[in-house]
Structure 1
């Protein structure tokens, strides 16, 4: 059976990725029939009405799903399609209460026009009460108009659809996790909508273990926990992990939402000095690594390894064992952090486990940062959130089973990493471009960092 999905009017390149990921989580056979990023309407084929409801029960970027009764470019064609293809369904709704809605995307209708459109479906043999509140069945006329069009000056919308409401999404959950209502956040906390979408695309679900190596205040583990996964995290900055104690802490955020039982633990470390055992244990890794814009990227380590200060003994205790000890940090390459994320994911993800991380890039093709690759990871989807002169991409990979890995490519990658390595000078092409306004007519000496 065909169904029409009504998406929300945001994050267009994320929509299909979320729906297709939810189909995998729910083990639903989903066939895409038609979709365009310019339209919030998508037609799919699903095995049953129950499958349609199940598909949307944790979707964030959709609004509703409808049994598809017809699509056309004109109303005459739409009426012909409804009469031709759905007459066998009409007897089910003959005696029930109902109402017909109008959803005009990028357009508007006067009340008189709406009434005329609704009356044009009078051939439907419905004899039940018309109820505006809580009817047994809801039908909707969907219109898609040209952007900035004025419907009264145009003969017809670009396309019209008609369908019966089957189910709603859980889009309202965005308000539940709104950062404005969260007790403990920072300037880099991911907003609730995109955190939840990331968790969906990464296939977070009950019984799975998810990890964020740049956990901050916990936006991603919280989103994963909402969908039933056990969240773990770490961060190089212990202050963000500990917070101020009590409610104003990462653990306090979990408690705020009643998710404390789904918090595994959080600890202080960076990805290059991680205590995590390199074995295949995680079902998913989700993160928003630092871009190095506000300040240069850092990892734990001494700029001068021969410095004896780290070995000083004071009152019988080594310096690094004091409670006030702050581990020293050194500069880190942005290119290296991407490689380290991919290497860590290839070592710790289970077969078909997903890595979803955010990565910035310039909108200018000459300055665009390529999507990093790894022989053990296959790119599933790349979703883009566009800003003014730059964008950030959510890149999602699948951990390939060992039988699918190109062994020769993996060996070559390891050899190149040993020979080449990365230096702090690689830090950070994106940061330099950012402060230049992504203009190519300036030299690096024009920029004061």
Structure 2
């Protein structure tokens, strides 16, 4: 079946997340999507070749970063190229000529277009000969023309002057507006009945849910559920969610009904939150692996809340045992906790996911990192046999950023429950070239996410920046 080209108009946010989201939704609905170099994250437009129009409509209905999709009639660096291609594409639009209401929109990227020149651009397409009425409110067909200039700094284009400076001009028919993007307002944290200072923003929660391939009938687990931001979005797409946290207060809140359940009821997904439990993932109750289709989480990394695990910072000296004494108070016992270093937490999370995920299941989580120190080698320090990285997208905050990592369980082998205290420390990762040369004295590579909390509160200063002591 011959393919047709479609123009994707992206929202100007989270550029690095676009391709992973497109590929994930294509995998979810089971159709091939060969992007390769077709999507440039620095540009607001992308052109896809797809066999069926329904496929691009499915992308528009589920992808959070898509604003609209168009059936592409023409693309060129000048209007002469565009008009020549559009005439050659007459078989795509001639059926709308006789009696179809329409409107024409002209938009620019990196520049503004005056009303007079918009009118001039529209009139240049008069050869299409549409005989229907012009309807600006509810047209049957919307024709869109998009001009893209490189680094225009909001230049106002009054005439066709500068047409040779176009990076590209796109022309086509609107197929569908991105209907998933309004979900950002639906799940806006400020409108939520229950949230906390670590609640994930709605847009990122939705992007994470898409990476899990959340859909009806799937079972998804959040081991650091906190106030439940990712639970609501994954449940919205039809998945059943189980959540746990070492601190039950985050899940419960202060009212009789747990806070997560109150917010889930607000979104109409209360029945899809299976249960909430309080436990430490390194002392978890799971006795059966291969349960979950996906694991989604934002592990605490110490900026607003530090990660904890059960244990004491300093082990107590063993005393002679005392006979048990009856308790005279009703205060509940609170077990001691100790800090959970981020690199150890991330490695443990991957091992736990390998045990709990079904074959082909996905682990989706954020990994904060120092941008100047990050290397692709860093992820090797958290991977284990049977787990494969399939997406790695950066949300840049300047000196640091957080990477949305998607890891697939690429094995059908069954693994025993992990015993985290007995897990060996991952072998030191050395500089790649030196390692290939077999030089054991090469400097040890330290992942950029190790000791992230300390680096953050030190302002990411390198030892050489401290100056003389």
Assess same fold via TM > 0.5.
yes
For 2:290, the equivalent position in structure 1 comes to 280
Give the RMSD, CA atoms, in angstroms: 3.0
Deviation at 1:312, TM superposition (A): 8.2
Going from structure 1 to structure 2, the CA distance change for 1:9 and 1:274 (only over 3 Å counts) comes to same
Displacement, 1:26? 1.1
Aligned partner (choices 208, 223, 227) of residue 213 of structure 1: 223
Structure 1 residues 5-43: Cα deviation after superposition (integer angstroms, max 9, x where no partner): 111000000011111111111112223272211111111
How far, CA to CA, are the matches of 1:323 and 1:309 in structure 2? 25
210-219 vs 148-157, which moves further? 148-157
Deviates more, 1:50-59 or 1:339-348: 50-59
Shift of 1:2: 1.1
User: TM-score, length-normalised on structure 2?
Assistant: 0.85
Which structure 1 residue ranges, 5 or more long, are not aligned? none
1:60 to 61, 64, 84: 64
SS in 2 for 1:126: coil
Q: What's the counterpart of residue 457 of structure 2?
A: 435
Q: Deviations over 1:106-154 (max 9, x none)?
A: 2111100100011111111211011101100111001112221514386
Task: Work out the CA distance in 2 between the residues paired with 1:366 and 1:335.
Answer: 13
Match of 2:424 among 405, 413, 418: 418
Moved more, 429-438 or 333-342: 429-438
TM-score (norm. length: structure 1): 0.89
Alpha-carbon spacing, 1:309–1:386, altered in 2? closer, same or farther (3 Å)? farther
Counterpart position of 1:249:
259
SS at match of 1:129: coil
CA distance in 2, matches of 1:208, 1:312: 50
Report the 3-state secondary structure (helix = DSSP H, G, I; strand = E; otherwise coil) of the residue aligned with 2:294: strand
Q: Tell me how far 1:415 sits from its aligned partner.
A: 13
Aligned-partner SS, 2:226 = coil
Deviations 1:259-278 (A, max 9, x none): 10110111111211111234
Give, in angstroms, the shift of residue 158 of structure 1: 1.5
1:336 equivalent among 336, 344, 347: 344
Identify if the C-alpha distance between structure 1 residues 294 and 172 changes in structure 2 by more than 3 Å, giving closer, same or farther. closer
Number of residue equivalences: 433
- Contact 1:184–1:247 (8 Å) recurs in 2: no
Residue 5 of structure 1: aligned partner? 8
Counterpart contact for 1:183–1:248, Cα < 8 Å: no
Give the Cα–Cα distance (whole angstroms) in 2 for the partners of residues 214 and 445 of structure 1.
39
CA drift at 1:323 = 5.2
CA distance in 2, matches of 1:380, 1:77: 38
Q: Distance in 1 between matches of 2:347 and 2:377?
A: 13
Which stretches in structure 2 are left out of the alignment for 5+ residues?
429-446
| CA drift at 1:332 | 2.3
CA distance in 2, matches of 1:161, 1:237: 52
Equivalents in 1 of 2:227, 2:450: separation in Å? 25
